[in-house]
C-alpha cells in the first residue's frame, strides 16, 4: 500500500499504526543523532559549552511553553461546544505553566543552570542563535494546526520523556551532577510519559468520536509521525540547533 493510501477511519486504527510506527522511536532507544549528542553521551562536552547550551535551552523552554497557550485561543468555539475537550487542553496547559509552581517545568531548569555556573541575568537575557530561532518558529504550528494534529503532536511529546531520562542518567553518571539538581529532567520523565503523551491520545480519541478528524487530517497525522520518528535529516533545522552551536564552539577552540 502506498503511503498516500494509508487511512485511519477510527482512533483505534490510528493508535495501532502509531504504536507500531513508534516502537523503535530514536528517543526511546537513546539513538545518538549528531556530534554534540555523541560527545555528550561520552562525557566529553566541556562545562563551558554546557553553560552556553543551557542559556539557549532555557529560551527554548520558555518560548515553547508560551506557544502552548495558543491551543486554547485557536479553537475557543470548539472548547465551548465540547467541554470534555477543553478539560484535556486545560490540564495540559496548566501542567506546563504551573507545575510544580508558577512558571511551570521551565523554572526548575534555572536550578540546573545555576549549578553549571550560569548567572540568572545571563539566562534571562539570552538571545536565540539563528538555528534555535528557526526551531522555535516551528511552534507556530500551535497556532495553525487542526485540533487533530495538535493531539498527535502531544502524543509524540510523550517520547521526549525517554530523551530526558537518557540525558538525566548521562548528566549524573558522566558529569557528576547531583540528583537534587536534576529536578527538571525528573519532572519531564514523568510528565511527558505519564501525562502529556496520554493526554494527546485522549484528545484525539474524543475528536474522532465527535467527527472532527478529516481525511486531510489523517494524511497530515501520518506525515507528522513519520517525520518525528525519522528524526533529523540532512539539511533539516528541526533538531540541529545544538549541533550548530557545538560546531561553532569547537571550531573556535581549534583556532
On whether residue 180 sits in a domain, the answer given is yes
Is 227 contained in some domain? yes
In a domain, 34, yes or no: no
Q: Please, what sign has the CA dihedral across residues 218, 212, 16, 237?
A: positive
- pLDDT attached to residue 1: 38
Residue 130: all three cell numbers together? 539563528
Asked if residue 17 is part of any domain, the answer here is no
pLDDT average per 10 residues of sequence, the chain (255 residues): 70 97 92 89 96 95 84 87 90 85 86 97 94 78 82 92 94 97 92 86 96 94 91 52 93 80
What pLDDT does 236 receive? 45
On whether the CB atoms of residues 159 and 197 are closer than 8 A, the answer is yes
Question: Can you give the CATH number for the domain in which 199 is found?
Answer: 1.20.910.10
Residue 168 domain flag: yes
**Which single residue is written with the C-alpha cell 554534540?**
36
Domain total of the chain: 1
Question: Domain for residue 173, yes or no?
Answer: yes
As given in the structure block, the three cell numbers for residue 131 are 538555528
pTM tops 0.85: yes
The answer to whether position 31 is within a domain reads: no
Name the residue range of residue 110's domain. Answer: 43-249
Whether 220 is in a domain gets the answer yes
Amino acid at each position: 500500500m502506498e503511503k498516500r493510501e494509508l487511512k485511519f477511519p477510527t482512533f483505534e486504527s490510528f493508535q495501532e499504526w502509531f504504536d507500531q510506527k513508534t516502537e523503535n522511536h530514536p528517543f526511546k532507544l537513546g539513538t545518538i543523532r549528531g556530534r554534540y549528542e555523541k560527545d555528550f553521551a561520552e562525557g566529553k562536552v566541556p562545562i563551558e559549552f554546557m553553560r552556553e547550551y543551557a542559556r539557549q535551552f532555557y529560551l527554548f523552554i520558555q518560548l515553547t511553553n508560551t506557544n502552548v497557550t495558543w491551543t486554547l485561543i485557536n479553537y475557543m468555539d470548539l472548547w465551548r461546544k465540547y467541554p470534555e475537550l477543553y478539560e484535556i487542553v486545560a490540564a495540559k496547559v496548566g501542567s506546563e505553566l504551573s507545575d510544580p509552581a508558577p512558571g511551570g517545568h521551565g523554572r526548575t531548569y534555572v536550578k540546573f543552570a545555576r549549578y553549571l555556573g550560569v548567572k540568572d541575568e545571563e539566562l534571562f537575557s539570552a538571545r536565540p542563535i539563528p538555528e534555535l530561532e528557526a526551531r522555535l518558529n516551528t511552534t507556530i504550528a500551535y497556532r495553525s494546526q487542526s485540533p487533530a494534529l495538535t493531539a498527535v503532536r502531544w502524543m509524540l511529546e510523550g517520547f521526549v520523556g525517554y530523551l530526558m531520562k537518557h540525558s538525566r542518567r548521562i548528566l549524573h553518571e558522566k558529569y557528576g551532577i547531583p540528583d537534587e539538581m536534576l529536578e527538571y529532567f525528573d519532572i519531564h520523565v514523568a510528565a511527558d510519559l505519564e501525562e502529556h503523551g496520554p493526554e494527546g491520545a485522549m484528545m484525539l480519541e474524543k475528536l474522532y468520536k465527535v467527527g472532527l478528524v478529516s481525511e486531510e487530517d489523517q494524511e497530515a497525522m501520518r506525515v507528522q509521525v513519520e517525520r518525528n520518528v525519522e528524526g533529523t535529516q540532512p539539511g533539516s533545522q528541526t533538531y540541529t540547533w545544538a549541533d550548530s552551536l557545538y560546531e561553532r564552539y569547537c571550531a573556535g577552540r581549534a583556532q
